[in-house]
């Protein structure tokens, strides 16, 4: 059974694209056939993050225009043979209908075990419908109170629309939290958002360094450990939530 994972947040810049790229890489390296679909129209970045800049022949725009078959439009990432990407159209004005994406994801379930949808921030009509219908919604927030409140609003809306499969990812957590295992700070965020925690990712310069170059995260980085724990939890493995590394 394949799983569609939507990565979403109320505010921009929370780390959705970085999380999609690093999580996709982690799942692929663990042997799972994984596809990242980039739905942040006009702000394509996944080609750079995955080291595929200049190597994308087709994108979602070609699929929506009907000039290319979906599977053919996906590109295998050089870093990991189990990882493919379907990049956002370079034209920011392409119209996206929820039913088109629904069709695309259903078709791709035949080929991939995990389909990660990297969304744009906030509540945007058709993307919202797509996210609501996913098997798992990752609500991404940073510890910033404004961001936490926006995460709550997003999550409330998804619950209202009937999606109970939401998990919280706290990104850019201060390293102090990791060094001293200060769960109290995290508990306050979890209580405000009202969604079960899937994982905490530290603020780690290794992440922009890797995604900026389109290289894998260094295996000695804290970020790498965080993504490896999150990917295993998604697969149902019991990895304790202790943040101590």
Ligand X SMILES: Nc1ncnc2c1ncn2[C@@H]1O[C@H](COP(=O)(O)OP(=O)(O)O)[C@@H](O)[C@H]1O
* Measured distance CA(232)–CA(224) in Å, rounded: 12
CB of 125 or CB of 212, closer to ligand X: 212
CB of 67 to ligand X, least distance (A): 27
Tokens of 12: 């921009």
Cα 44 → chain centroid: 14
Q: Which residues bind to ligand X, rule: CB under 6 A? A: 9, 12-18, 171-172, 201, 203-204, 207-208, 211, 223
User: Which 3-state string (H, E, C) describes 26-79?
Assistant: HHHHCCCCEEEEECCCCCCCHHHHCCCCCCCCCCHHHHHHCCCCHHHHCEECCC
Among ligand X, Mg ion, none, what does residue 14 contact (CB within 5–8 Å per kind)?
ligand X
Cβ(79)–Cβ(216) below 8 Å: yes
CB of 104 to Mg ion, least distance (A): 19
Quickly tell me which residue has 């290289």 as its tokens.
Answer: 215
CB of 17 or CB of 231, closer to Mg ion: 17
Distances (CA, A) of 215 to 101, 102, 117: 28, 31, 20
Among Mg ion, ligand X, none, what does residue 34 contact (CB within 5–8 Å per kind)?
none
Among Mg ion, ligand X, none, what does residue 125 contact (CB within 5–8 Å per kind)?
none
Check the annotation: does 12 bind a ligand: yes
Among ligand X, Mg ion, none, what does residue 211 contact (CB within 5–8 Å per kind)?
ligand X
CB of 45 to Mg ion, least distance (A): 6
Check the annotation: does 10 bind a ligand: no
Q: 141: which strand partners?
A: 170
First to last CA, the chain: 32
Check the annotation: does 16 bind a ligand: yes
Q: What torsion do the CA atoms of 107, 110, 116, 117 make, to the nearest 10 degrees? A: 0
Among ligand X, Mg ion, none, what does residue 204 contact (CB within 5–8 Å per kind)?
ligand X
Tokens of 220: 């000695």
CB of 98 to ligand X, least distance (A): 20
- Helical (H) or strand (E) element with 160: helix 145-160
CB of 177 or CB of 203, closer to Mg ion: 203
CB of 40 or CB of 204, closer to Mg ion: 40
Q: Tally helices (H) and strands (E) across the chain.
A: 11, 8
CB of 107 to ligand X, least distance (A): 25
CB of 109 or CB of 122, closer to ligand X: 122
Q: Which residues bind to Mg ion, rule: CB under 5 A? A: 16-17, 40
Using DSSP's 3-state secondary structure scheme, residue 103 falls into: helix
Q: Please state the residue numbers annotated as binding site for ATP.
A: 11-18
Output the known binding site.
11-18
């Amino acid at each position: 059974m394949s799983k569609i994972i939507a990565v979403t947040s109320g505010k921009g810049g929370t780390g959705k694209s970085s999380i999609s790229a690093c999580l996709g890489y982690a799942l692929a390296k663990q042997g799972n056939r994984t596809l990242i679909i980039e739905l942040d129209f006009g702000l394509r970045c996944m080609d750079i993050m995955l080291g595929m800049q200049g190597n994308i022949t087709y994108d979602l725009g070609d699929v929506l225009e009907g000039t290319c078959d979906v599977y053919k439009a996906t590109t295998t990432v050089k870093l990991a043979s189990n990882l493919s990407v379907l990049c956002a159209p370079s034209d920011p004005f392409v119209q996206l209908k929820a039913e088109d994406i629904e069709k695309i994801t259903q078709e791709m379930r035949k080929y991939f075990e995990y389909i990660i949808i990297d969304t744009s921030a906030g509540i945007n009509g058709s993307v919202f419908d797509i996210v609501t219908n996913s098997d798992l919604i990752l609500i991404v927030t940073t510890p910033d109170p404004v961001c936490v409140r926006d995460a709550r609003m997003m999550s409330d809306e998804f619950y209202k629309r009937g999606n109970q499969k939401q998990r919280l990812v706290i990104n850019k957590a201060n390293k102090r939290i990791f060094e001293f295992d200060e769960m109290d700070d995290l508990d306050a965020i979890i209580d405000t958002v009202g969604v079960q925690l899937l994982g905490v990712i530290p603020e780690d310069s290794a992440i922009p360094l890797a995604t900026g170059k389109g290289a894998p995260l260094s295996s000695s980085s804290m970020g790498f450990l965080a993504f490896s724990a999150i990917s295993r939890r998604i697969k149902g493995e019991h990895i304790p939530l202790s943040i101590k590394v």
